[in-house]
Amino acid sequence: MKKTFRTHFAIPLLSVLVFAVTSCAQPKSSVTGTDSRKEEGAAFALSKSIEDWQNTLTPEQFNVLINKGTERAFTGKLLHNDKKGNYTCAACGNELFSSDAKFDSKTGWPSFDKAMENGKLILKKDNTDGMERTEVVCARCGGHLGHLFEDGPTATGQRYCINSAALGFCSKADAEAKLANHSDTVVLAGGCFWSIQAIYQKLEGVTNVAVGYSGGTKANPRYEDVSTGNTGYAESVQIVYNPNEIKLVDILKVFFSIHNPTTVNKQGADVGTQYRSAIFYNNEQQKKVAAEVIGSLQKNNVFDKAIVTIVQPLSKFYKAEDYHQDYYNNNKGQGYCQAVVAPKIEKFEKAFQDLLKK
Ligand SMILES: [Zn+2]
C-alpha cells in the first residue's frame, strides 16, 4: 500500500459512487485474450486481456487492481464497513478476508490481521518508490490489492493494508440467503461411502457432502447394523450442490465413472445390500435426469453388462456417525484409503479436471 496519494491516480467522484460494494457472485472465468500479468511471469487461474478488465472494472478498480494504484486514504467505501461476511477480490470474486480479521488501523485503508487460508493471496517483494515492501496480489486473477506490513496490533503481527476499491463484500446474511435459494440435494449409493464423499467434495458447485444411510426402514440406523446387510440401508452420500454451478447430469456422470453400476449388491471386495448402486431422487426432475443418463449409457453400450442401479425416491437420509464423516481426509494413511480410495480419486481427478474446484 502506498502511503502517499499520487495526484495522477485521482479518481472522478462518479466512479466511486457507482462502485458496487456487494458482490457475492464468484464470476466464472471467461478465458480470452492474454494474461495481463504475463510480463511478471506468473500464471493465474483466471487470465483476461487488458480490454476485458477495462470492460468489467470501474476506472477506480482498474487503477488499483491492474495499474497497482492506491486509493486516497479515508475514501474507500468498505473502510468503515462493520458487517459480518467475507471480503472478496473485486475483479474475480475470490474470497480473501473474513470480517473477523478486519480492524481499524487508523491508516485510512481497510486493514486485516490475517488472510483466509488455502493460498488465496500471493505475496511479492515490492521495491518500487524507494521502499522495501510486500505486495499483496489475488492468487486467482493476479489483481493488485495492497501491501502487507508486519506491524499489526494483534497476535498475528500482520497488517494487510488493502484498497477498498480492490475489494467486494459478501455479507453473511446474503451468502446464506443465496445458498438457501440455490441449493439442491441428491443422495447416491455406490459402495463404500468414504471414497464417494472424498470425490464429490472436490467438485465445483458442490457445497456439502455427508455420508449416511438411505433406503431402509428402521429409524436411526447404526453402522454396526447397516454393515450386516440385513437392514435394507445402503451406504450413501448426501450431496448438496448449487444447480447454477454444477448440473445433476455432471454429478451423475461422475457417479457412473467411480463405481460399477452393473454388479448387484457388490463393489469390488465389498459385498452386501449396503453396497448396492442406487440413486435416491428428491423430485421428479431428478428422476427424469437419472433415467436419461442411464438410458444414454445403455444405448451407447458404455458398460458390457446391463446397469442395475436402482432409481428410487428418497424417504430419509440418516447421517452416519461422526467418525465416518471426512474419513478419507482424516485417514489418508490407513490401508483401505491408500489401496482403494486414493487410486480412485486420482483416476477421477484425471477424468474430470474441468469439474474440479479451482
Ligand atoms: Zn482476483
pLDDT at 14: 28
Say if residues 46 and 34 touch (Cβ distance below 8 Å).
no
Q: CATH code at 110? A: 2.170.150.20
Domain of residue 298, residue span: 182-355
Q: Which residues pair with 214 in a beta bridge?
A: 234, 317
In the chain, the amino acid numbered 323 is Y
Respond yes or no: is residue 92 known to be catalytic.
no
Q: How far apart are the first and last CA of the chain?
A: 28
Mean pLDDT of 111-140: 93
Question: What digits encode the pLDDT tens for the residues 172-226?
Answer: 888 777 666 678 999 999 999 999 999 999 999 999 999 999 999 999 999 999 9
Q: Do residue 215 and residue 291 come from a single domain? A: yes
Say how far apart CA 263 and CA 268 lie, in whole Å. Answer: 9
Residue 2 lies in a domain: no
- Angle among Cα 14, 20, 25 to the nearest 5 degrees reads 155
Distance 180 CA to ligand 1 centre (A): 25
The 3-state DSSP class for residue 149 equals: strand
Q: CATH code at 195? A: 3.30.1060.10
Q: Do residue 347 and residue 203 come from a single domain? A: yes
Residue 147 DSSP one-character state? E
Residue 92 lies in a domain: yes
Helix %, strand %, coil % of the chain (to 5): 30, 25, 45
Respond yes or no: is residue 170 known to be catalytic.
no
Catalytic residue among 24, 92, 138, 161: 161
Distance 144 CA to ligand 1 centre (A): 8
Distance 146 CA to ligand 1 centre (A): 12
The number of domains in the chain is 2
Instruction: Give the β-pairing of 121-126 and 133-138.
Output: antiparallel
Q: Mean pLDDT in the chain?
A: 86
The 3-state DSSP class for residue 123 equals: strand
Distances (CA, A) of 40 to 52, 152, 303: 19, 29, 48
pLDDT at 56: 84
Residue 1 lies in a domain: no
Distance 327 CA to ligand 1 centre (A): 33
Q: Do residue 101 and residue 244 come from a single domain? A: no
- The residue written with cell numbers 472465468 in the block is 29
pLDDT at 10 over 80: no
pTM of the shown model: 0.52
Distance 352 CA to ligand 1 centre (A): 24
Q: Do residue 227 and residue 255 come from a single domain? A: yes
Q: Do residue 163 and residue 189 come from a single domain? A: no
